[in-house]
Structures are given as C-alpha cells and as structure tokens.
Structure 1
Amino acid sequence: MASGASPAVEPVVGEPAAVADLGDRRALLVADVHAGIEVGLRYERGVELDSRADERRERLCDLIAETDADRLVVLGDLAHRIAAPEGDEREELEALIRAITDRVPMTLVEGNHDGGVAEAFADDLDVIGASGGVLGGKDGPTAGVGVLHGHTWPNPGLLDADVVCMGHEHPQVRLEDAVGGSRVERAWLRGTLDPNAFLEGGEADPDAVADPPELVVFPAFNERSGGTWINVDGQSFLAPFLPDALPAGDAYLLDGTRLGDFRRV
C-alpha cells in the first residue's frame, strides 16, 4: 500500500452509505441500489410489490445534500435485472440518473446486474469496469480508495489503495431477543484485507502483504434485495475472495453498533 495519510471512509449513521474523503473531494458511496427490483420480482417470481422508485431516488438525493458530497459512486448493481434495461426499469433508471446528475457527477462500478447500463447511459455516467479501480490518490497525499463490486476477481492495483470498498454481498445479521423473537438487519463488514486471498492465484506483491489496505463490505442500499446472512449456519459468501480475504473483520449495524468479529456474531 502506498504511504501517506489514509483517506477517511465513514458510514453515514443510520444509512447504508458512506462518505469517502479524498482530500479536495467528498464522494458518497453506496452499493446495490437495484433500481427496478419490483419489476424484476414480478418477472422472476410473480411477486407484486408497490414501487419504491421515488423513495430510493429521494433518499439518494437527500444523502448527497446532507453529506455535501460532490460525486455519487455506486459500487455495482445500480440496476436489478441481469439484462439491458428496458420498460419500467429503464424509466426508473432514467429518472434516478437524471436526478443525481442534475446535482453531482455519478460513477458506476459495474456489477453483475449492470449488463447494458453503461452503454444505455454512456453520456451520463463515468464507468469503472468490474475488476475495479481507485478513486483519488494519483497526485494527492493519500493512496486513494479502491472500489469494486465484488462478483469477480479484482484488479491487483487495488492493493495500492489505503482502503478498498465493495458491494455484492448484501451482508445481513439475524438477531434474536430473550423471548425467541428475531429480526434481520443490514450490516457492514470491515477489517484488514488479506492480499493473497484477495487476488486470483494468491500471488500478491510482497510490499502489499506487508502493509495491506482495509476492506469495507457495504450493506445493500436496497432493503428489498435480500443478502448473505453472515451469522447463520450454511450461508455462503458470493465474492470469490470472501470470507478468506477478511480473516478478522468486524460487523456493524447501520446505527453504528459494533457486533464484533462477524464469524462469531
């Protein structure tokens, strides 16, 4: 990892979003918006749900204003259906992208659900490929923030960042009370990254192994998108490098409550 002061990546309390302080810029980061999910659920499972498209769009716009961010970065799966957007899903995406880009520029890190999105909105979005990239760091005092979705093996260059942020997993925890009731809540995972487990083939540069970045796994922005129950037996992770690349990570609820080692929650 490059030397220098680490940029702050701080969750917004109570929200599945974080702000990355890149020195002279502030980026709002979210993952797994899954715009058009209600269309997808109707098509895939025959489930009819009222659309929350307006609510999702308004929440993102409010977060941009509240955090004084000058860019929105979506860590993959801006869209829901794994196909080129069309119909109601495309209309939701058009309205969402227009509302955001009327305020700030928008970057999409391509996820496995974003097929055709970059092409459909090429004039409106900055796009980072599926293997990820680094925000900031080139000429600034920090090594920058690595970003990827997490459905494929990452670019080794992400190990040069101070912190790596990803989506895809939609981490959740199932919590039980004293009388046997339970609830499921979205969670953050955060800890030091194991570079050898992070890279396909496990051959990280020795310098990266000596000073590895932090890994932050984002909760899904869309509360209807399900996820990986990290504390339920039999659940498996989706990313090819997890959980091995996070050997000692902690879990946190959206309100900031620290649950401790995610493997023991």
Structure 2
Amino acid sequence: MVPGERVAVEPVVGEPAAVADLGGERALLVADVHAGIEVGLRYERGVELDSRATERRERLCRFVRETDADRLVVLGDLAHRIGAPEGDEREEIEELVRAITDRVPMTLVEGNHDAGVAEAFADVVDVVGPGGALLDHDGVDGDDIDGDGGVAVLHGHTWPDPELLDADVICMGHEHPQVRLEDSVGGSRVERAWLRGEVDPRAFIESRGERDADAIEDPPELVVFPAFNERSGGTWVNVEGQSFLAPFLPGALPAGDAYLLDGTRLGEYRRV
C-alpha cells in the first residue's frame, strides 16, 4: 500500500468474502459464519437439516488459500447460538478454528452471538470488542484506534467507537443484506448482496457529544458484508417497511449501492 493512499476492500468475485491489503499483511474478511446453525435450528424451531459444517470449514480454508491471505478476520457471529458453545456446535467451531489457525492467524470481531465463543477461544483467536477496531499491518490495533486511514472492523449490533470514523473503510456484518429481485412475469428470487457507500458520520455515532461529526470532511466508506452462511436469512434491504438490525442503519448509509456476489451493480439499494 502506498503511504497516503486510501485502502481498498475488494470482494472475492462470486463469494461472500473480501480482501484488504494492509501493507504488511493481506487480510481476508467474512461475516456471519453462524457455525452450528443446523444445531440451533433444530433446538429453536424443530427444523432438521443436514449439517454443512465440513463444507463451511473447507470453503473458508479454500478462500484463505486462493486469496493468499495472511489473516482471516470474521466480522462477528462466528457461532450461531447465543451463549457458550457446546456439543456439536462447539465441535464444529473447534475444528474450524483449528483448520484456520493451522494456516494463518484469526481475528474475531465479537458479535451478538459470540460472547461465549470469544471467551472459549481467546487463547487461539484475537478478539476485538463490540465497539470495533482498526486493522493495521500487524493485525489489529486493539484498544488504540487512533490512526490515519486503514480498515476499521465491527459487527454492527451495538454503537461503534466514534474513532472508527478515522478509517478509510469501515467493514461490518450483522445485517445479512439481501435483495428481492422480480422478473417481468412476476416471479421473484432473493439473493445475498453487498452494500457500499459513504457513511453519514452524524448517524453513525450514538452521541453527538462524543465527536464533532460535522467536522469530518472526508467520511469513510461503509461496507456491509453479506452473510457467509446462506442459511442464516437476512434483511431485504429493497423492500419497503423492512427494518434494519444495526442501530445506525439505514441512517448511516443514506445513499449506498447494492451489489450481487458476482459483482453486478444494482444501483441505490433502496431503489432496486
């Protein structure tokens, strides 16, 4: 990365993953893996589905290999069930974490499903708190987010640290954005999507007293990641009346564009 140049976050074509070149490190980012979702659906709803644990693990390892990544960053919700993982879910997470960390370091941004996971795997996984952090060429800048540019990461279920506004790009999960597409004969389908656009600093932070949002002349780009897990549902961002999950959306992304996983640009996400 050239000093002074804004960092780019580039999606992996056809996949719910992206790569960021941090200078000394190449990071692969995914969101909402929801490992153990089949166990959760069985427990929560009585729905029986064949486990895709092996497929999820192998896909993540393949992404790491094919993108030549130096680190995997999960933007929250590595696990599906809230609380300490146990049984088949814990076994899936253990195998997934082992498979990744045998290859590269792994960072978990704590999501609303991850409190028990973050505690259970803190000895092998770098954990970022719910407020987010700034990635740098050594991985994660931890508690000190002060910096100039770079990639900030958070999950999105809580209000972010206002200092994330110093980044070039803010990457988040939690929302599981999807678009509902209709054809000329009335048929429809739902596809996972990326949302990207300039963040509105005034809507991004909880309290105007925490920072002078109006003084930010060059706001960062906000990238809302599609869910890695295709079984986890999502927010239909182009359906009128659909509520968002993140407390700062849709206000913090007033004019973002939607993109399909294959890179197709659909235009302004609320007008698709």
TM-score for the superposition, normalised by structure 2: 0.93
How many matched pairs?
261
Among all aligned residue pairs of Structure 1 and Structure 2, give the percentage whose two residues are the same amino acid.
81
Q: Aligned partners of 1:103 and 1:199: how far apart in 2?
A: 36
Cα contact 1:148–1:167 (8 A) shared by 2: yes
What's 1:245 paired with?
A: 252
Cα contact 1:20–1:26 (8 A) shared by 2: yes
Instruction: Choose from 223, 247, 250 the match for 1:216.
Output: 223
- Unaligned 5+ segments in structure 1 are none
Cα contact 1:196–1:209 (8 A) shared by 2: no
SS in 1 for 2:223: strand
Q: Aligned partners of 1:191 and 1:206: how far apart in 2?
A: 17
Cα contact 1:6–1:142 (8 A) shared by 2: no
Cα contact 2:180–2:238 (8 A) shared by 1: yes
Cα contact 2:148–2:166 (8 A) shared by 1: no
Q: Residue deviations 1:44-92, cap 9 Å, x none? A: 0000000000000000000000000000000000000011100000000
- More deviation in 143-152 or 199-208? 199-208
The equivalences for 1:117-156 within 5 A come to 117-136=117-136, 143-156=149-162
Cα contact 1:159–1:212 (8 A) shared by 2: yes
Q: Structure 1 residue 159 and structure 2 residue 160: aligned?
A: no
- More deviation in 115-124 or 38-47? 115-124
Relative to 1, partners in 2 of residues 1:206 and 1:196: Cα closer, same or farther, differing over 3 Å? closer
What's 1:100 paired with?
A: 100
What's 1:236 paired with?
A: 243
What's 1:19 paired with?
A: 19
Q: Residue deviations 1:156-187, cap 9 Å, x none? A: 11011110000000000011112221111000
SS in 2 for 1:255: coil
Q: Report the alpha carbon displacement of residue 212 of structure 1 after superposing the two structures with TM.
A: 0.7
Q: Report the alpha carbon displacement of residue 207 of structure 1 after superposing the two structures with TM.
A: 7.4
Q: Residue deviations 1:172-203, cap 9 Å, x none? A: 00111122211110000000001110000235
What's 1:179 paired with?
A: 185
Moved over 4 A (4+): none
Q: Structure 1 residue 69 and structure 2 residue 69: aligned?
A: yes
> Which amino acid letter does the alignment assign opposite residue 190 of structure 2?
V
Q: Aligned partners of 2:108 and 2:171: how far apart in 1?
A: 13
Instruction: Choose from 259, 262, 270 the match for 1:255.
Output: 262
Q: Aligned partners of 2:192 and 2:128: how far apart in 1?
A: 26
Q: Report the alpha carbon displacement of residue 209 of structure 1 after superposing the two structures with TM.
A: 2.2
What's 1:169 paired with?
A: 175
What's 1:52 paired with?
A: 52
Cα contact 1:171–1:227 (8 A) shared by 2: yes
Q: Aligned partners of 2:215 and 2:45: how far apart in 1?
A: 44
The equivalences for 1:77-88 within 5 A come to 77-88=77-88
> Which amino acid letter does the alignment assign opposite residue 260 of structure 1?
G
Q: Aligned partners of 1:240 and 1:221: how far apart in 2?
A: 21
Relative to 1, partners in 2 of residues 1:136 and 1:176: Cα closer, same or farther, differing over 3 Å? same
- Unaligned 5+ segments in structure 2 are 142-146
SS in 2 for 1:27: strand
Relative to 1, partners in 2 of residues 1:257 and 1:83: Cα closer, same or farther, differing over 3 Å? same
Q: Structure 1 residue 8 and structure 2 residue 4: aligned?
A: no
Cα contact 2:109–2:155 (8 A) shared by 1: yes
Instruction: Choose from 231, 234, 259 the match for 1:227.
Output: 234
Q: Aligned partners of 1:152 and 1:87: how far apart in 2?
A: 28
